[in-house]
Amino acid sequence: MSRYLLRRLAESVITLLLATVVVFLGIRALPGDPARTLAGEESDPETVAEISAAYGFDQPLPVQYVRYLGRALTGDLGTSPRTGLPVTDSIIHALPVTLELALLAMLIAVLIGLVAGTVAAVRRRGPLEWAANSVALMGLSVPNFWFGQMGVLLFAIYLGVLPASGFVPLVEDPVANLEHMIMPAVVLGTGLAALIMRQTRSAMLDALNDDYVRTARAKGLPGRQVIIGHALRNSLIVVTTIVGLELGVLISGAVVTESIFVLPGFGRLTLDAVFTRDYAMIQGIVLFTATAYIVLNLLVDLLYSVIDPRIRVGGVLR
């Protein structure tokens, strides 16, 4: 276990180092002079030169990268020229909103996906399976921006039971916070719920035909215990992989949903940074997103051994 953990940690560090190189070179490859962008198109050459020297744009790329990497290791991702605030502070301020949205969406997706996928597998070729497959197909087909607008039209304008936009911090008013977050979470979680449902159904169908399930039934175990304690548990490997990967997607890719519901989260911060060509902010956001993906993948790999003891027995974790 310790050797596997150390090896995965080493692989994660190398991957993160390569990610910093890609992020650094990718930002520098964007068209246009970043110093002139910060100074304005009408600025004189002296002003552009001063800004270039202040931000280190006049240094060779290797020198710029070493300085960037050294600051990033201490948590300093630079200062946004658009707001004048440290990039790290802006990310920390926006992250709780997106993290809450992502966790709520993930909770909704897992609950719906696991239940629907299990029912579809157990009640195969029945009305429940057809209903679950139809709902899953709709969840995968309907885009978030349309679903979000329809939700605002129905629940905020026609019925008036939920607010159309805005955000209230959880510590200030938990009820108002839930009222503002429930509709964006449902919009963001429906597509993921459909994906989890289809993968759970497929894994459950394979598990229900395995020898250990037939043996458990032959021993006279209750049907619920066989389905939940044996078949579903061994099907959670697929669900864990999806949840681990998609949580990073939800954190970094909630741009459309946050824009529809005017949430001051990570996605909205990303969109504003791209539109204003805030290089420091874009660089910090992409680096943070890459780090989140790497950490989540590491956690998913470690969870495999908890969910399925056969992984340990098979000698993967040694």
Alpha-carbon torsion, ordered 85, 257, 294, 299, to 10 deg: 120
pLDDT digits (tens, 9 = 90+) for 211-260: 666 777 776 767 666 677 666 777 777 777 777 777 777 776 677 888 88
Question: Looking at residue 285, what is its pLDDT?
Answer: 85
* Residue among 130, 129, 120, 250 nearest 184 (CA): 250
Q: Higher pLDDT residue, 217 or 165?
A: 165
How many CA atoms lie within 13 Å of 95's alpha carbon, on the beta-carbon side? 12
d(CA 231, CA 236) in angstroms, rounded, equals 9
147-161, 184-198, 211-225: range with lowest mean pLDDT: 211-225
Question: Looking at residue 313, what is its pLDDT?
Answer: 44
pLDDT digits (tens, 9 = 90+) for 91-148: 888 888 888 888 899 898 888 888 888 888 777 777 877 887 777 777 777 887 888 8
Residue labelled with tokens 């999806």: 242
Question: Looking at residue 316, what is its pLDDT?
Answer: 46
Element (H, E) at 296: helix 279-307
Question: Looking at residue 52, what is its pLDDT?
Answer: 77
Per-residue confidence at 318, pLDDT binned at 50, 70, 90?
Answer: very low
Q: Is the pLDDT of residue 317 over 60?
A: no
Q: Is the pLDDT of residue 310 over 70?
A: no
This prediction has a pTM of: 0.76
DSSP 91-127: HHHHHHHHHHHHHHHHHHHHHHHHHHHHHHHHTTTSH
How would you classify residue 173: left for phi > 0, otherwise alpha for psi between -120 and 50, otherwise beta?
beta
d(CA 13, CA 29) in angstroms, rounded, equals 24
In angstroms, how far apart are the furthest CA atoms of the chain? 85
